[in-house]
C-alpha cells in the first residue's frame, strides 16, 4: 500500500503487513463546536485505520485534543478551562455520532505537561532553544534543514509570534509565560506558563509511539507552521519522528454569502448530523479524494443524500437471498484503496457492484466506511407499524384524507410508508 507524503512529495510505500502502522492525526483546538471541515482528518484517520486492519496491519490511531491555546483564552477570557472541557465533550460526542468508532487514544495537551516540560528542557540543554523573560523559543537557525516539510526556504520563512526579544523573527514559542486573564498555567524551570501549540503535538506523539512512527496526519493548513515546527523540534533531539506526512485537503464553501439553506449559518458537524444524518456526512467525504479540497454546501449534500438513498433502496427493494459461501472479492477494492486511498474510486466501484448485484461485496465495502447501516433493513417499531396498518385500512375504505394524515404521522416518527404489490401492501422504510 502506498500513500502520498508531503515530506517526500511523492507516493511512499508502507511497510508490509502487519506493520505496525502507527498514526498520529492532529485533532481540534477545543473552543467551539467542531465544524464539518474539522471532521475530515478524523474521518480519514478512522477510515484508514479500518482499511489497514482489513489488510492485516496492526494499525493504531492517536488523535489529540488541543485544550490549551490562545484561541481558547480569547473565546473565554478567565474561563478557558471550562470552555475547553465543554468543547472536548462536544467533539467526542459529535465524532462518535459519525458511527466510525473512536481512535485508540485521544490525549489532551493539559495531561501531557510533564512530557512537554521535559521535551523543552532537552531542547534548551542542547542549545536548540532559549528562554527570554519566561517565554522559551526554538532557535530556528540551529536547524539547517528547516523548511523541509513546507518547502519554505530557510531565509524566507514567515515571522511567527512577533516578539522583539527573540533572537530571530523565525523563532517560535515552546513555552509562553502566563499573562493576565489566562486562567491556566503550570510551573516550569522558566517560570509559570503554558506550552506553545507545536510542542504539544511532538510530545503527545512521542508519548504514544516513541520517537519514530509511520504516519502523521492533519489538515493541509497545518503544514506551516505547525508541522514544520513539530519536525524541527523532534529532529533537533536526534529523533527521526514521522516517516510519512498525510495532509488532507480543506473543506471550502463554509463562510461568506453562500451559506447553506438547509443549515443556516451553522455548519457545525452537530448540525450536519442532526439535519442530514451521519450517512450523508460520510458520503460527502467518501466522494472526494482525501488530498483534494472539497466545497461544502446544499448541492453536494443533496448529491450525497441521493447516493445514500440509492444504496439503501438497493438493499430495501430487492432482498438478497442466501449469501452463504460467496467470496468477498476484495481485489478490486484493494486496487484503488492501496493506491493512495482513493475513496472516490472505491465509491464508483460500490456503484458498479450495485449494478452487478454483488450483495456481499457491497455490504462488506460499505461497512468498511461506516455505511453498513445502509445494508440493514430496520424493523419499524410497533407503534409505527400500527399507524401503517391503520393507513391501509383507511385506504381500503377510500378515506384518502385520513390515509394522508396517517402518512404524515408516520413521517413525523421518522419512517416512510411505501405502497408495494406484495402483502400487506406497504413497506416501512427508515427515513435518512
Ligand atoms: Zn498537532
Q: Which of 129-143, 199-213, 374-388 has the lowest mean pLDDT?
A: 374-388
At 428 the pLDDT is 87
SS3 assignment, position 397: coil
Q: Rounded to the nearest whole angstrom, what is the distance from the C-alpha of residue 226 to the centroid of ligand 1?
A: 7
For the chain, give the longest Cα–Cα distance.
88
Q: Rounded to the nearest whole angstrom, what is the distance from the C-alpha of residue 323 to the centroid of ligand 1?
A: 45
Q: Rounded to the nearest whole angstrom, what is the distance from the C-alpha of residue 303 to the centroid of ligand 1?
A: 32
Q: Rounded to the nearest whole angstrom, what is the distance from the C-alpha of residue 28 to the centroid of ligand 1?
A: 8
Q: What is the mean pLDDT of residues 323-348?
A: 83
Helix (H) or strand (E) holding 117: helix 113-125
Q: Rounded to the nearest whole angstrom, what is the distance from the C-alpha of residue 103 to the centroid of ligand 1?
A: 15
At 133 the pLDDT is 94
Q: Rounded to the nearest whole angstrom, what is the distance from the C-alpha of residue 124 to the centroid of ligand 1?
A: 21
Q: What's the distance, CA 155 to chain centroid?
A: 34
Q: Rounded to the nearest whole angstrom, what is the distance from the C-alpha of residue 230 to the centroid of ligand 1?
A: 8
d(C-alpha 366, C-alpha 301), whole Å: 18
At 318 the pLDDT is 59
Q: Rounded to the nearest whole angstrom, what is the distance from the C-alpha of residue 64 to the centroid of ligand 1?
A: 7
**What is the Cβ-side half-sphere exposure of residue 123, based on CA atoms within 13 angstroms?**
33
Which pLDDT tens digit goes with each residue over 375-402?
Answer: 887 788 999 999 999 999 999 999 999 9
> Are residues 30 and 72 in contact, defined by beta-carbon separation less than 8 angstroms?
yes
Which pLDDT tens digit goes with each residue over 253-298?
Answer: 876 655 678 888 889 999 999 999 999 999 999 999 999 999 999 9
At 322 the pLDDT is 44
d(C-alpha 1, C-alpha 11), whole Å: 10
Give yes or no for residue 362 having a pLDDT over 80.
yes
What are the grid coordinates assigned to 58, written together? 496492526
At 325 the pLDDT is 42
* Domains in the chain: ranges and CATH: 2-248 (3.40.50.620), 275-375 (no CATH), 382-430 (no CATH)
Which pLDDT tens digit goes with each residue over 292-334?
Answer: 999 999 999 999 999 999 999 898 765 555 454 445 656 899 9
d(C-alpha 140, C-alpha 175), whole Å: 15
Give yes or no for residue 190 having a pLDDT over 90.
yes
Q: Rounded to the nearest whole angstrom, what is the distance from the C-alpha of residue 290 to the centroid of ligand 1?
A: 18
Q: What is the mean pLDDT of residues 230-245?
A: 94
Helix (H) or strand (E) holding 286: helix 278-286
Buried b (16+ CB within 10 A) or exposed e, 374-391: bbeeeebeeebeebbebb
Which pLDDT tens digit goes with each residue over 71-109?
Answer: 999 999 999 999 999 999 999 999 999 999 999 999 999
Give yes or no for residue 156 having a pLDDT over 90.
no
Amino acid at each position: 500500500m502506498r500513500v502520498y507524503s508531503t515530506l517526500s512529495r511523492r507516493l511512499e510505500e508502507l511497510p508490509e503487513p502487519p506493520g505496525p502502522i502507527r498514526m498520529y492525526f492532529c485533532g481540534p483546538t477545543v473552543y467551539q463546536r467542531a465544524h464539518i471541515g474539522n471532521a475530515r482528518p478524523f474521518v480519514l484517520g478512522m477510515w484508514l485505520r479500518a482499511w489497514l486492519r482489513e489488510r492485516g496491519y496492526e494499525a493504531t490511531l492517536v488523535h489529540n485534543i488541543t485544550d490549551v491555546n490562545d484561541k481558547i483564552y480569547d473565546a473565554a477570557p478567565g474561563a478557558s478551562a471550562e470552555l475547553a472541557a465543554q468543547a472536548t465533550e462536544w467533539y467526542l460526542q459529535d465524532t462518535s455520532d459519525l458511527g466510525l468508532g473512536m481512535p485508540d487514544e485521544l490525549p489532551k495537551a493539559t495531561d501531557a505537561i510533564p512530557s512537554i516540560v521535559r521535551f523543552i528542557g532537552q531542547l534548551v540543554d542542547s542549545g536548540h532553544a532559549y528562554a527570554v523573560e519566561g517565554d522559551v523559543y526554538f532557535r530556528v537557525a540551529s536547524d539547517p534543514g528547516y523548511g523541509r516539510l513546507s518547502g519554505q526556504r530557510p531565509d524566507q520563512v514567515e515571522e511567527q509570534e512577533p516578539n522583539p526579544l527573540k533572537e530571530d523573527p523565525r523563532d517560535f514559542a515552546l513555552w509562553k509565560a502566563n499573562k493576565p486573564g489566562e486562567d491556566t498555567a503550570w510551573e516550569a524551570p522558566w517560570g509559570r506558563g503554558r506550552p506553545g501549540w507545536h510542542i504539544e503535538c511532538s510530545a503527545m506523539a512521542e508519548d504514544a509511539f516513541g520517537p519514530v512512527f509511520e504516519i502523521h496526519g492533519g489538515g493541509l493548513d497545518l503544514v506551516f507552521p505547525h508541522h514544520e515546527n513539530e519536525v524541527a523540534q523532534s529532529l533537533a533531539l536526534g529523533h527521526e519522528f514521522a516517516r510519512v506526512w498525510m495532509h488532507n485537503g480543506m473543506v471550502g464553501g463554509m463562510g461568506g454569502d453562500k451559506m447553506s439553506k438547509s443549515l443556516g449559518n451553522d455548519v457545525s458537524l452537530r448540525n450536519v448530523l442532526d439535519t442530514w444524518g451521519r450517512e450523508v456526512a460520510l458520503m460527502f467525504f467518501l466522494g472526494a479524494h482525501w488530498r483534494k479540497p472539497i466545497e461544502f454546501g446544499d448541492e453536494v449534500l443533496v448529491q450525497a443524500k441521493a447516493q445514500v438513498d440509492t444504496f439503501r433502496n438497493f438493499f430495501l427493494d430487492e432482498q438478497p437471498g442466501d449469501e452463504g459461501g460467496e467470496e468477498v472479492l476484495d481485489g478490486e477494492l484493494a486496487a484503488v484503496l492501496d493506491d493512495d486511498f482513493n475513496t472516490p474510486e472505491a465509491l464508483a466501484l460500490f456503484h458498479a457492484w450495485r449494478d452487478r448485484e454483488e450483495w456481499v461485496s457491497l455490504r462488506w465495502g460499505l461497512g468498511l466506511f461506516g455505511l453498513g447501516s445502509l445494508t440493514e433493513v430496520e424493523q419499524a417499531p410497533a407503534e409505527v407499524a400500527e399507524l401503517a396498518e391503520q393507513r391501509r385500512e383507511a385506504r381500503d375504505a377510500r378515506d384518502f384524507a385520513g390515509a394522508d394524515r396517517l402518512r404524515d404521522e408516520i413521517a413525523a416518527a421518522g419512517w416512510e410508508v411505501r405502497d408495494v404489490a406484495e402483502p400487506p401492501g406497504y413497506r416501512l422504510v427508515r427515513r435518512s
